[in-house]
Amino acid sequence: MNPLLHHFNTAPFSKIAPEHYKPAIEKAIEMAKAEIDAIVSNPEKPTFENTTVTLDFAGEKLNRITSIFFNLNAAETNDEIQKIAQEISPWLSEFKNDITLNEGLFARVKAVFETIDSLQLSSEQEMLLEKQYKSFARNGANLSEEKKDTLRKIDAELSKLTLQFGENVLAETNNFELHILDEKELTGLPESAKEAAQEIAKEKGKEGFVFTLDFPSYIPFVTYVENRELRKKMAIAAGKKGFQSNQFNNEQIVLNIVKLRHKRANLLGYKSHAHFVLEERMAETPEKVIEFSNELLQKAKPAAEREFKHLENYAKKLDGIEQLQKWDGAFYAEKLKKELFDLDQEQLKPYFQLENVIEGVFTIANKLFDLKFEEVFDIDKYHQDVKTYKVSDSKSNFIAVFYADFHPRKGKRNGAWMTSYKSQYIKEGINERPHVSIVCNFTKPTATKPSLLTFNEVTTLFHEFGHALHGMLANTTYSSLSGTSVSWDFVELPSQVLENWCYEKEALELFAKHYKTGEIIPMKYVEKIKESASFHEGMQTLRQLSFGILDMKWHSENPSEIASIKEFENDAFSDTKLYPDVAENCMSTSFSHIFQGGYSAGYYSYKWAEVLDADAFEYFLENGIFNKEIATKFKENVLSKGGTEKPMNLYKRFRGKEPKPDALLKRAGLI
């Protein structure tokens, strides 16, 4: 029997084989279609209950199965799973279109929507109905048959292209390795990074050291290795993913994606893909995003140029380097930072043993939101590295299941993310609690050392855990409005605000303990972490803004005339450029956030959310970082509310006013 088609609560990973997915998804699509048909053929007059609510719960089985499948395709994939993904993606995109282009269904939804003012709905019910109606209208329900057909074709093609884009980036990442036999070549590289490179070499049956483009391998290499030629080799390899003349080239794919997105937006009556996307975001229009980016650019650029000049002079003084290149940035910045703050990432790592940091983030969640995490061993998992926890509140009520998967391995994509295997919702009086997961790529323990995190990895863990809290503390009636189902430019608030605790003495004392001696991190380091937090903040801001501006340029203008991706990109970067261009590198061909990961016309939201998070954290700072009253306001108005109301209303209810960029600029040392 197919385990995916049985009733299950937590995902039955150990029982699932790849051959179960296709028949299960096929069957679940069939079941979902039957649920939709039942709504359409209901002889009763359309009501909020028999149409809006029933539709929200339709396809529940399909959602559970596909969430398992696509989460594994990101965290534990292989050729077989990737092949299945290519086959089922068009099915799912076709099914989605079958719903949004179903005239009978839309007629019922529209009938309910047109009576919205007389229905006396709660704000959550109103939001559900409005979102449902818009999801039809925004996906072509008001189009003619012929145009609907065109839309279906565009969507099927886009789902294939974005998948292909991601597979090409993964292949390019996996295809490169730098094999070093002579340890002298690695002067400057910390022991822990050498040890990790030896382990990789061993796994590949090679002598010496192997470095890859996976971040835990790549970042230390370009930050510490003194051999400039080798740094250059690594940096160029990372920068040309998808931009080489081989079968993994993404140039045409990028052009096809942006042209199809533009065509799709026009078909639906929007000026551009960005106009289409932003209608449903906190920012509302591309013009507002561009204005927001330019305002920050104006404030950050002078600081960035000063910082860059300073770094150039420093590299020249130190090593006689006439022209600072991209592969020099991290290397000299790390040296300069060490000189200015006498702070070395390697000095900090012993205080951030992974297990202690996990314990720390749990303690902070307990102090703020009364949550308790208990590791349990009776929940099925997809890999032995995964840890599973039962989450409850101070009254021992069950809150969530939490999965955590921390280390890189073959078949797991780079980066860090939060995801969910089951949403929270209330049905027939039962509050179904969520199953939430975070996936990271932190340095593995070695033969002699536990997993020790860089400070950067500590903030990454807090960031993803902030998303997880948003999922775990969800308390809404409808699953489509639950947890992280909020405007894209609001979704980063819970994650980014939690990072702030990593810089506070009161929080660090809870978990930053030396893995050998148990000594709490010395306060001079904490001071330096805080001081150095705004180090090169001008350059960092410029970098983030440049990605957001590139994204907006791809998606807010007509792309039909673009011939060269490289030229287009250089033009987009003209106001934010500090380093000389590298001819063989291109950002767009591996910009997975916007061409694979759902951030198209949305990359600005990182900075947007930073404004929100700095403003929100200032509220805590004024009243104490563990202030229960403010934490409760945050939990009740932001974390538990999901997408049940407009985000600005939720934010104002928590904060008492609209956010201003001043707190961010102050924190970044830009004013």
Catalytic center residues: 464
Please name the residue that has the structure tokens 């920050």.
296
Residues 193-224 as b or e (16 or more Cβ within 10 Å = b): bbbbbbebbeeeeeeebbbbbbbbbbbbbbbb
Q: Which two tokens stand for residue 269?
A: 């009556």
Terminal CA-CA length for the chain: 64
371 conformational bin, left if phi > 0, alpha if psi -120 to 50, beta if neither? beta
Q: What is the 3-state secondary structure (H, E, C) of 95-113?
A: HHHHHHCCHHHHHHHHHHH
* CB 497 within 8 Å of CB 466: yes
What is the C-alpha radius of gyration for the chain, rounded to an integer number of angstroms? 25
Strand order in the sheet with 417-422: 371-375, 387-393, 398-405, 435-439, 417-422
Residue among 349, 337, 339, 324 at smallest CA distance from 231? 324
* Contacts for 306 with CB less than 8 Å, ≥ 6 apart: 538
Are 605 and 547 within 8 A, CB to CB?
A: no
Phi, psi of 384 (to 5 degrees): -65, -20
| Cβ neighbour number for residue 118 with a 10 Å cutoff | 7
Pairing relationship of beta strands 417-422 and 435-439 according to DSSP bridges: antiparallel
Structure tokens at 666: 């102050």
Q: Is 342 helix (H, G, I), strand (E, B) or coil?
A: coil
Neighbours of 666 (CB within 10 A): 13
Spatial distance between the Cα atoms of 438 and 169, rounded to a whole number of angstroms: 22
Give the strand pairing for 371-375 and 209-211.
Answer: unpaired
DSSP 3-state percent helix, strand, coil across the chain (nearest 5): 60, 5, 35
Q: 325: closest CA among 131, 58, 585?
A: 585
Crossing angle of helices 286-319 and 537-556, in 10° steps, is: 140
Query: Read out DSSP for 455-498?
Result: HHHHHHHHHHHHHHHHHHT---S-GGGSTT-S-TTTTHHHHHHH
Q: Give the chain's largest Cα–Cα span.
A: 82
DSSP string of 110-134? HHHHTTGGGS---HHHHHHHHHHHH
